Structure 1
């Protein structure tokens, strides 16, 4: 009984940690996106992860950022297990899996696959988009509660912490925006405004509407990409009779566009 309890607790901890890893482009947990197809704690305490992305050609940079996040999550597990992470059905799966089996760091594995991009700059770009998306949800939520633009933009951290929201996007993003704010500005005083630009500048009340329009554009783009990503993954792995066994983007689109039949005479 005690062994079963320990196993169950470890399994819960594993999925909690994996749920803290986000798709960097979409700012949504990889577990909710369905990228972690299997996460299992074995009888000896070791961990096995099967990871699958929505398309065969997903950018290796995105794969690196997510798999690096998975590695860090596994390193934080309380019992420090040995682990195996396997990437499936990706154009660089063989190289990645071979490198991981050889004990190479992800940075070394992806050094030749990184498409000559600065991964540090890529991380910052995605962090900026996540910051803006989370912030927009809170700003909209506070406006829906009837607060004036001046009241919202004058809110400091203690006032932010006691604010309450009905279940929904604002409530979901409240702790996530707080975390992003303090990560971006680690030395921030509690009495400073909570809502500032990515660069740290205050937003004048008269400019809030225009600022929200900018944030809305970021959110819509991320939501569209998220919906496309989910649809591609669902279509790719559902059982379809396709010529090469691999659904294409055309399959995805046709599966969702209603067919119009011309009326007969």
Structure 2
């Protein structure tokens, strides 16, 4: 886990809080706020009060993204039956006071920002959830191809069939993450096609090449933003860039160039 200061409180309850926070993703980057290093501390007292500190890569990170993450953290932790008061504190951000006050009082984004609120927050959430769906789909397609499955067999898979494919643990994890977003674009029963486009239409051999190019474009943009955010966070707080946890991304390119060493294969 990537929280930055020692947690306080009884270990079992702290672990429960951390498990809930691990389920909260940055809406743009589709990565856990814990893995990104955004959580700066967690405290739990005997009465079930929870304190959570978090930070963002820059002072001016978008208010809607900051609010979404704060609200998702609050909701996830509040779902634990023993939790009483939650105090969530965003630090060193241009809208920290507004967001922290909203979290304490249960205000919505519109209530907290009034005339400054720009657009529907749920619409923003949907746009980036769709990008996450596309990125996760490409990860599964690449894994299946790398495991030796041919294109026709992959595209013929139903959701139930995809679940039953014998994959390494990493492949099973990618499938589970992808299927968690599959219902975003249409029916997601076991008999429904595993691989569909953003409109919910099944991907066919004829459309596959263009579809995969679209997925790659989305993925490159997301990974570039992720690399940028990690770099900004590390520079802002004087920390080392994290080592890659999975397959090489643009972050590895940034690290390799900066360090004058080869990019990992």
Task: Give me the TM-score of the superposition, normalised by structure 2.
Answer: 0.82
**Corresponding residue for residue 16 of structure 2:** 13
- 1:224 partnered with 2:206: no
Q: Number of residues paired by the alignment? A: 235
- Give, in whole Å, the separation in 1 of the partners of 2:114 and 2:153: 48
**Corresponding residue for residue 81 of structure 1:** 84
> How far off is 1:220 after superposition?
1.0
- 1:181 partnered with 2:185: no
RMSD: 2.2
- Give, in whole Å, the separation in 2 of the partners of 1:146 and 1:210: 21
> How far off is 1:96 after superposition?
2.1
- 1:203 partnered with 2:203: yes
- Give, in whole Å, the separation in 2 of the partners of 1:202 and 1:98: 45
CA contact (8 A) 1:64 1:106 kept: no
CA contact (8 A) 1:48 1:85 kept: yes
- 1:160 partnered with 2:162: yes
- Give, in whole Å, the separation in 2 of the partners of 1:155 and 1:13: 36
Worse-matched range after superposition: 157-166 or 14-23: 157-166
Task: Give me the TM-score of the superposition, normalised by structure 1.
Answer: 0.82
Larger relative CO (CA 8 A, sep 6+): 1 or 2? 1
CA contact (8 A) 2:27 2:128 kept: yes
- 1:48 partnered with 2:51: yes
CA contact (8 A) 1:18 1:31 kept: yes
SS in 2 for 1:121: helix
Q: Which has the larger radius of gyration?
A: 1
- Give, in whole Å, the separation in 2 of the partners of 1:182 and 1:194: 10
> How far off is 1:53 after superposition?
0.6
CA contact (8 A) 1:60 1:110 kept: no
> How far off is 1:71 after superposition?
1.5
- Give, in whole Å, the separation in 2 of the partners of 1:113 and 1:14: 32
- Give, in whole Å, the separation in 1 of the partners of 2:216 and 2:114: 35
SS in 2 for 1:10: helix
Aligned residue runs from structure 1 range 63-78, under 5 A: 63-78=66-81
- Give, in whole Å, the separation in 2 of the partners of 1:104 and 1:45: 18
**Corresponding residue for residue 131 of structure 1:** 133
**Corresponding residue for residue 122 of structure 1:** 124
CA contact (8 A) 2:70 2:103 kept: no
Unaligned runs of 5+ in 1: 1-5, 240-252, 260-265
- 1:97 partnered with 2:115: no
SS in 1 for 2:46: coil
CA contact (8 A) 2:56 2:233 kept: yes
